[in-house]
């Protein structure tokens, strides 16, 4: 009788009692701030209390900022690079471009060849109508994916196609089409574009430099466009695509100049200036962030030589550069065989270089070792973006600081 009652009691307990997932909220807060968004969304299914707690965290701007800071440290995840290209196709097959993540793990420089992991990003329609390929993207944005300008900042990807602009966070499956600008200029009169974060206003902004040197900015916080003061002349000599945004300042290279120069626009004040760069005229060049300072990397070629690569760093502790910045030559690679263009700095000390015949290499800035990057899954790469982080920053966050 006692044994029968015990079995009945245990059956009753099995039906009514569930495992306890209680932990101090402060401990959960810290643990969850280190998890990728995909894991957070999966853990919402653990129990009702976790569902409510994680849902509230995702909407908490302080947690979103802490989560982003942890993600940018990349302690537990490989470096991810945003690229645009297409899958390797057989002759006669249609080429469809897409957005990929190139994940590069830190192998301590032991291998002669680097084999990254390629991940395809699914671009979903802002109206929830499934994934977009080239044909759907063309109908919505009025341009092919391969002809679209791409920017990335804190997990948000900005796509600019003619007169339409879309912001997209792949980790949140979150996107929006921006309202049209206020001025009378159409997209054909835009001379340069950019996208970045304004740390003073805690706001993400898009900047467009139009003819007559009018600067207009879009604010994600207010979902509005505003015109700012005019900048210096020579707007028609700017490269259309922004080269870098660092600590709230955007930079563009000049074309057709005898000297290396950039133009800067402050995302908070709207102030603009023209800044000279070191070294002679370059065949190819890039501005990158290295050790929290701006580095200028350029490739030069003289007749009868294979050229050289130079890297200059600035000793400006504010993080921005100006016409009074002090530049120091950090690196010079003479006659780099088969190298044609510097692209990005990854993992803190790996300089990504493009060679001949779509070959790519990593050059370690400390060990001076050159290694080949093997990319088999993606065909022709038409765009190399910045380092990507999966974040909880929503593009539909009007009024959120």
Asked, for residue 90, whether it belongs to a domain, the answer is: no
So what's the pLDDT on residue 62? 92
Which residues of the chain fall short of a pLDDT of 70?
1-22, 74-76, 87-96, 106-110, 123-146, 183-188, 229-236, 256-258, 279-281, 302-306, 316-319, 324, 335-336, 382, 398-401
Asked, for residue 48, whether it belongs to a domain, the answer is: yes
So what's the pLDDT on residue 115? 83
Sign of CA dihedral 237, 242, 246, 250: positive
So what's the pLDDT on residue 270? 86
Domain count, the chain: 1
| Beta partners for residue 297, in sequence order | 286, 311
So what's the pLDDT on residue 16? 45
Asked, for residue 189, whether it belongs to a domain, the answer is: no
So what's the pLDDT on residue 2? 42
So what's the pLDDT on residue 248? 92
Asked, for residue 286, whether it belongs to a domain, the answer is: no
> For residue range 279-324, what is the model confidence (pLDDT) as tens digits?
666 778 888 888 888 888 888 776 666 678 888 888 765 667 777 6
CA proximity to 82, closest of 348, 371, 382, 392: 382
So what's the pLDDT on residue 20? 46
Asked, for residue 231, whether it belongs to a domain, the answer is: no
> For residue range 97-123, what is the model confidence (pLDDT) as tens digits?
778 888 887 666 667 788 888 888 776
Asked, for residue 304, whether it belongs to a domain, the answer is: no
Distances (CA, A) of 75 to 27, 72, 105, 156, 359: 19, 8, 11, 21, 29
Most distant CA pair in the chain, distance: 101
Asked, for residue 91, whether it belongs to a domain, the answer is: no
So what's the pLDDT on residue 10? 44
Residue 35 structural domain: 23-76
Kindly report the pTM of this predicted structure: 0.84
Asked, for residue 362, whether it belongs to a domain, the answer is: no
Beta strands in 88-223 (DSSP E): 97-104, 113-114, 117-121, 149-153, 156-161, 164-169, 174-177, 190-198, 203-210, 215-219
Q: β-strands 117-121, 149-153: how paired?
A: unpaired
């Amino acid at each position: 009788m006692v044994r029968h009652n015990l079995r009945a009691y245990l059956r009753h307990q099995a039906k009514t009692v569930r495992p306890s997932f209680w932990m101090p909220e402060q401990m959960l807060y810290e643990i969850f701030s280190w998890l990728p968004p995909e894991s957070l969304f999966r853990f919402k299914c653990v129990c009702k209390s976790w569902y409510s707690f994680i849902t509230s965290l995702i909407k908490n701007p302080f947690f979103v900022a802490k989560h982003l800071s942890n993600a940018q440290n990349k302690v537990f995840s490989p470096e991810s690079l945003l690229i645009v290209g297409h899958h390797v196709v057989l002759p006669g097959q249609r080429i469809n471009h897409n957005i990929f993540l190139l994940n590069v793990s830190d192998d301590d420089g032991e291998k002669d060849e680097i084999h990254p992991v390629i991940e395809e990003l699914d671009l979903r329609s802002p109206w929830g109508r499934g994934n977009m390929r080239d044909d759907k993207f063309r109908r919505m944005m009025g341009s092919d994916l391969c002809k679209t300008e791409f920017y990335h900042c804190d997990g948000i990807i900005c796509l600019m196609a003619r007169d339409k602009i879309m912001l997209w966070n792949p980790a949140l499956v979150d996107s929006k089409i921006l309202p049209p600008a206020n001025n009378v200029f159409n997209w054909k009169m835009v001379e340069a574009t950019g996208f970045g974060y304004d740390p003073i206003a805690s706001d993400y902004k898009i900047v467009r430099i139009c003819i007559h040197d009018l600067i207009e900015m879009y604010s994600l916080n207010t979902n509005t466009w505003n015109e700012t003061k005019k900048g210096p002349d020579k707007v028609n000599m700017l490269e259309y695509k922004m080269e870098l945004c660092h600590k709230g300042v955007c930079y563009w290279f000049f074309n057709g100049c005898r000297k290396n120069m950039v133009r800067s626009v402050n995302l908070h004040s709207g102030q603009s200036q023209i800044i000279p760069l070191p070294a002679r005229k370059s065949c190819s060049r890039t501005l990158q962030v290295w050790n929290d300072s701006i580095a200028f990397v350029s490739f030069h070629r003289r007749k009868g030589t294979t050229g050289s690569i130079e890297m200059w760093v600035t000793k400006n502790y504010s993080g921005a550069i100006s016409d009074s910045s002090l530049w120091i030559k950090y690196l010079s690679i003479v006659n780099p065989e088969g190298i044609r263009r510097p692209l990005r700095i990854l993992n803190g000390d790996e300089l990504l270089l493009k060679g001949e015949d779509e070959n790519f290499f990593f050059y370690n800035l400390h060990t001076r070792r050159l290694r080949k990057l093997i990319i088999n899954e993606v065909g022709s790469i038409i765009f190399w973006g910045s380092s990507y982080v999966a974040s909880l920053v929503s593009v539909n966050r009007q009024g959120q600081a």
